[in-house]
Amino acid sequence: MRLEARGAISPAMAVAAPLAAVAFTLVVAALFVAWAGAPVGRTYALIFEGGFGSRFAWSETLTRATPLVLTGLAAAIAFRARLYNVGAEGQLYAGALAAVAVGGLHGGTGFGLPPAVLFPAMLAAAALAGAVLMALPAIAKTRFGVDEVVTTLLLNFIVLLVVSMMLDGPMKDPTAMGWPQSVALQDELQLAKLVERTRVHTGLLIALALAGLAWGVLRLTTFGFEVRAVGANARAARFAGVPVTRTILAVALASGAVAGLAGAIEVAGRTGYVTLDMSPGYGYTGIVIAMLAGLNPLGVVAAAVFVAGVLVGADSMSRAVAVPTYIADVIVAVALLSMLAATVAARYRLRLR
């Protein structure tokens, strides 16, 4: 058995491969649903209805998609340069803590600054926190050759413990009756609702703008070209005069900053304060979204909405039929693996010799 490179990827193949992956995912997930003893068709219908079937469903899906667009972007930007930042989860929490540190502490006075100054300062602090957190593994990679996957993964655990420490100590909300949550952000710093009587907030617009920006930078600028060159072949890029180390560091900072922003926007748009469970693995799901999108920033938006719909839909489905919500995680994981296999099928021909 061997793989043989196809000359060029035919447009038909480029469309058919992801569709085949989605179809395969639905079949595999159907087996899991059937195993739980639930009617497959009805379960799928309930997931779809819960995720996309009504105005309310769409509002919940878009609310959930907002942080996912950002963590998906964080992964997509980094993976483009073959920098495997899988620490978006930790960077998100670091950003959330930084946002509350700027916009919530000091007895809510916010240094006595007006919201017009404080709001950008809050976002900047969150971006900085995420970037700094990603700088350590990036420097360890470029200077010492330490694999960034393991360091970023381990940092996620460390950050979560720091969050827990902060919620027990300096950032504890004394009025929360011992519930582990941070002090709340000032009301003036909370993001406005985009649609009335829903939870969709203007953070969605920030996420979309960043996706457009990332697409433009990667596609249209010299820096974007250098990022893609480093990702395609770092040695060749270095030979051609691309500053590889500098590019990797810049990508790391950008990726960490976007993930940090995700934390600030979640706090400012949805929760209002930091809790230990404010992210049900958005950082990890972002990796899947980036891969589903083929690392394309605009594709990230579509993939994030799809995944958010599945997550939201599974939540509402499991209230009606006896299928655990974990089916959403199974669907997302199978989608990732089959999409990976589909990319190979599009580029290579399988020869059974």
Compare residues 165 and 205 and give the one whose CB is closer to another protein: 165
Compare residues 216 and 324 and give the one whose CB is closer to another protein: 324
Compare residues 186 and 318 and give the one whose CB is closer to another protein: 318
* CB-based burial, 26-57: b 16+ in 10 Å, e otherwise: eebbeebbeeeebebeebbebbeebbbbeeeb
Long-range Cβ pairs for the range 18-24 (8 Å, 24+):
18/339, 18/342, 20/338, 20/342, 20/345, 21/335, 21/338, 21/339, 21/341, 21/342, 22/335, 22/338, 24/334, 24/338
Query: Which two tokens mark 290?
Result: 């980036």
Nearest-approach distance from CB 326 to another protein, in angstroms: 4
Nearest-approach distance from CB 215 to another protein, in angstroms: 21
DSSP structure class, residue 268:
I
Nearest-approach distance from CB 84 to another protein, in angstroms: 5
Q: Which of 281, 301, 280 is nearest to 290 (CA)?
A: 301
Compare residues 67 and 272 and give the one whose CB is closer to another protein: 67
Compare residues 147 and 188 and give the one whose CB is closer to another protein: 147
Nearest-approach distance from CB 126 to another protein, in angstroms: 21
Which value, to the nearest 10 degrees, does the dihedral of the CA atoms of residues 231, 237, 243, 246 take?
10
Distance CA 251, CA 237 (A): 15
Nearest-approach distance from CB 171 to another protein, in angstroms: 13
Compare residues 86 and 259 and give the one whose CB is closer to another protein: 86
Compare residues 151 and 275 and give the one whose CB is closer to another protein: 151
In this structure, the number of other CB atoms found within 10 A of the CB of residue 82 comes to 15
Nearest-approach distance from CB 76 to another protein, in angstroms: 12
Nearest-approach distance from CB 205 to another protein, in angstroms: 30
User: Residues interacting with another protein, by CB under 8 A?
Assistant: 1-3, 32, 35-36, 79, 84, 86, 140, 144-147, 149-151, 153-155, 157-158, 161-162, 164-165, 168-169, 284, 287-288, 291, 322, 324, 326-327, 329-330, 332-334, 336-337, 340-341, 343-344
Q: Which of 207, 306, 224, 225 is nearest to 262 (CA)?
A: 207
